[in-house]
Amino acid sequence: MEYIKRMVVCLICLAAIATVICINLRAGDVVTNAKAAVLFEPESGRIVHSKNMDVKLQMASTTKIMTAVLTLESGGIDEPFTVDENAIMVEGSSMGLLKGDTVTKRTLCYGMLLPSGNDAANAAAVAVSGSIDSFVELMNKKAAELGLSSTHFVTPSGLDDFTDGHYSTALDMAKLTAYALKNEVFREICSTTSISLDLGGRSVWLNNTNRLLKECDGVYGVKTGFTDKAGRCLVTACRRGGVDLICVTLGDSTDWIDHKALYEYGFASLERVDLGGESYKVATASAGGCVELSAEKFSLTLEKGSSERIEKKVILPQFLYSPINVGDVCGQIVYYLDGGVIRVSPLTVLGERLPAE
């Protein structure tokens, strides 16, 4: 009898736990082990999920996102040069650079984004700015330009054992990544799983440390990171059904699992909605005719079900006056969601003057 009572109590407890889990899932809660995390929709800047996203933390080798961006933006990315032998003498992860190797900036970006080479990051810094210190100044200047107010760099590689001044936030890293992914070369490199590179007489084979490129549907980047101080850090980007999301976790011992779970939650919460394409006819002030105006088609990422709450206001003149040319903007459509403006689309002249109806 005592056994049966215990079983009943256990079943009640399990049912209560299951109920709490279901309530949490319905409320949109996603449990992670990260010190800080954010799931970010870059098109609108929407925060899909967050945990301590504004807390300043070390970000380890995800730092190399900034290093790679600045290297690619410096120009001449395919011009060969010899690596600085002092710059490549650095501890930690490496792409295997040796004294006398001939590289390009593109090569070094593969080296820092795939195997997370600290040697590649330092070599790129010297190639771009002449010294590591000058490059770090450039990193912080770029961070300020991008509005990353809670980010400060001390090294191009992300090594942080000797300093407390190297930090960022999950949200800042998401914003930086959104900017970096606009660079097609960066996007191509960080999505590469492996590559063989020539270093001027010898070759190296590089493998990407980002497991999710193979393990998570739609993932196309971006960067892993680890130091004793920062713990495991991971920045990824994923696209499904026309929706892009960026996920950042800092200090997360289960980052691979957490990113997968966050993406499942995020993509289940969002959808791509097609809007626009409307056309209207406006009378002309002379000749008794009318002109057709049209709005371009576009797509937006919205929370599932919210498209039913979209309203629009069409703003048109009562008459159009000559001269009227194809492509002229003669009105607009304002789209609202829950009272807030989500898009303003111009209405342009679609074709020649039409006969009056």
Could you list the active site residues? Answer: 61, 64, 116
Three-state secondary structure call for residue 331 = strand
**Orientation of helix 132-145 relative to helix 64-73, angle to 10°:** 90
**Residue appearing with tokens 């020539």:** 198
DSSP code of residue 84? P
Cis amide leading into 323 (omega within 30): yes
Pairwise CA distance, residues 189 & 115, whole Å: 12
Dihedral of alpha carbons 154, 158, 163, 167, sign = positive
Structure tokens at 23: 């309530």
Kindly give the residue spans of alpha helices, DSSP state H, lying in 99-193.
Answer: 105-113, 118-129, 132-145, 170-180, 184-190
Kindly give the residue spans of alpha helices, DSSP state H, lying in 270-320.
Answer: none
